[in-house]
Every structure is written in structure tokens, then in C-alpha cells.
């Protein structure tokens, strides 16, 4: 079938079963015949909605649609860096496979993992868990540890990854306020091994502020639960 014959064939389908609004859209070049044919094959009740979606300028997308488009196109690494509130805003994407990377963070460069294993050993996790100053929710901590390991393995060797995480744990255990320690899951998902000692904070809580500090711990635990649910 020649291109002209194919065009005539598709046009006949559109004319025969499509709504009349499809024809001007093709004539004005807003959609091609292949798309027009696909729209015409939909139930009549859905054709106008799909046609509108196809020809609508991108700048007319709502904020929610823009966020969804960005989130669905983002890599797993970018999602792990994004705030959990974005994931909550657009809905959990855990079942979806990202199609491309470099959308939420265009300046980021996707690197291929270095040769070697991509999962930590049981003993490496146990060493981390034993060193962490607050041991709670071990099963979720193990999952978060594997995710953190995989993330760092994109730029480091396996031994370097463990060294970086364990060094970060040592700094956190030394400088964090013992009455406001976050869950190990929260620490790992937040890439907290990157924290500088001076930014962690230490010292006793003012008795007058103890209740608010305890509330802060509760909120951080809630954030960990949300992060686990989303990621």
C-alpha cells in the first residue's frame, strides 16, 4: 500500500466512525492521520476527550499534570532524592517503571554502575545496624540499606560504599542528640551519611522544650513511614 493509498484508507476510517471534530484537526495539522485513526477507533463517548488531550498546547497542562509527567519520567535515583511530599501529591508510583532519567534533575548525569555486586552482604548490614545508635524496625532498615548501597554503587566500589555509610554512622552517633535520633530507615533514605558534623547538632534538650523535641521525633518517624510507603 502506497503512502497515498494508506492516507486515503485512514481518512476513510476517520470519516466513517469518527466524530466530525477529528477532520478539521487533521486538516489543520494538529494531529496526523495515524493518531486520528486511533481516536476514531475509541468509543464515541471518549473520542472528544482524547482529541482534546492530543491537541491541547503543553502550556495548558495543570500543575498536577505537569508533576505527574515529571514524576513518571523520573529515574529511581531522582525519585529517591525528591521530597516525599511530591510523591504523595502525585500518588504512589511504586508499581511504575520510569521511562527516562534526567527530568526532575536535568543537570544530573546518569552513571553506569561499576563492575561488581550490587547488593550488600548480610554481615555488612548487621555491622551497620549494630553501629547505628537507634536500633528499630530492622526489616525496613535492611531494605533501606540495600537501596542506599545500590544508589552509591553507581559511583563507588562496594568497599567504598560501606566505608562511606559506616563513616557517616560514626559521625551521626557522635554528634546527634540522643533524645532526637531518627530511625535508621529515615537516615538511610535521606542519604544522611552526607551530613556534616556541625549540622547534626548535639547537647541536652532544654526541659521547657522537651515536649516539642519529642514531637519532632514523632514527625520524623511519620515521615519514615510515608517514605517507606512511597518508595
Between these two residues, 80 and 118, which has the higher pLDDT value? 118
Task: For residue 16, give the C-alpha cell.
Answer: 466513517
| Burial environment of residue 98 by CB neighbours within 10 A (0 to 12, 13 to 18, 19 or more) | middle
Which residue, chain included where needed, has cell 560501606?
Answer: 162
Q: What is the dihedral of CA 99, 105, 108, 114, to 10 degrees?
A: -50
Asked whether residue 219 carries a pLDDT value surpassing 60, the answer given is: no
Residues 73 and 105: their CA atoms lie apart, in Å, by 11
Q: Collapse the DSSP code of 69 into the 3-class scheme (helix H, G, I; strand E, B; otherwise coil) and give the result.
A: helix
**Digit-coded pLDDT (tens) for 124-167:** 999 999 999 999 889 999 999 999 999 999 888 888 999 999 99
Domain boundaries defined on the chain: 3-56, 61-110, 122-230
Asked whether residue 231 carries a pLDDT value surpassing 50, the answer given is: no
| pTM value > 0.75 | no
Task: For residue 36, give the C-alpha cell.
Answer: 486520528
**Digit-coded pLDDT (tens) for 24-77:** 888 888 888 888 888 888 888 888 888 888 876 544 556 666 667 777 777 777
Q: Considering only 57-71, 83-97, 105-119, which range has the smallest mean pLDDT?
A: 83-97
Amino acid at each position: 500500500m502506497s503512502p497515498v493509498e494508506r492516507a486515503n484508507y485512514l481518512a476513510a476510517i476517520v470519516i466513517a466512525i469518527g466524530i466530525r471534530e477529528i477532520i478539521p484537526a487533521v486538516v489543520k495539522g494538529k494531529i496526523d492521520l495515524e493518531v486520528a485513526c486511533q481516536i476514531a477507533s475509541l468509543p464515541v463517548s471518549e473520542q472528544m476527550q482524547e482529541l482534546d488531550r492530543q491537541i491541547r498546547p503543553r502550556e495548558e497542562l495543570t500543575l498536577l499534570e505537569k508533576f505527574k509527567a515529571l514524576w513518571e519520567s523520573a529515574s529511581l535515583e531522582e525519585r529517591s532524592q525528591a521530597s516525599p511530599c511530591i510523591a504523595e501529591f502525585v500518588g504512589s508510583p511504586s508499581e511504575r517503571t520510569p521511562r527516562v532519567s534526567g527530568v526532575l534533575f536535568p543537570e544530573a548525569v546518569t552513571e553506569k554502575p561499576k563492575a561488581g555486586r550490587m547488593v550488600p552482604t548480610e554481615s555488612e548490614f548487621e555491622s551497620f545496624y549494630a553501629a547505628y545508635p537507634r536500633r528499630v524496625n530492622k526489616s525496613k532498615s535492611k531494605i533501606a540499606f540495600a537501596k542506599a548501597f545500590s544508589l552509591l554503587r553507581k559511583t563507588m566500589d562496594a568497599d567504598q560504599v560501606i566505608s562511606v555509610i559506616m563513616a557517616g554512622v560514626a559521625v551521626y552517633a557522635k554528634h546527634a542528640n540522643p533524645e532526637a535520633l531518627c530511625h535508621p530507615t529515615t537516615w538511610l533514605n535521606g542519604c544522611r551519611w552526607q551530613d556534616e558534623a556541625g549540622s547534626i547538632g548535639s547537647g541536652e534538650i532544654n526541659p521547657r522544650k522537651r515536649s516539642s523535641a519529642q514531637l519532632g521525633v514523632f514527625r520524623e518517624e511519620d515521615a519514615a513511614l510515608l517514605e517507606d510507603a512511597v518508595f
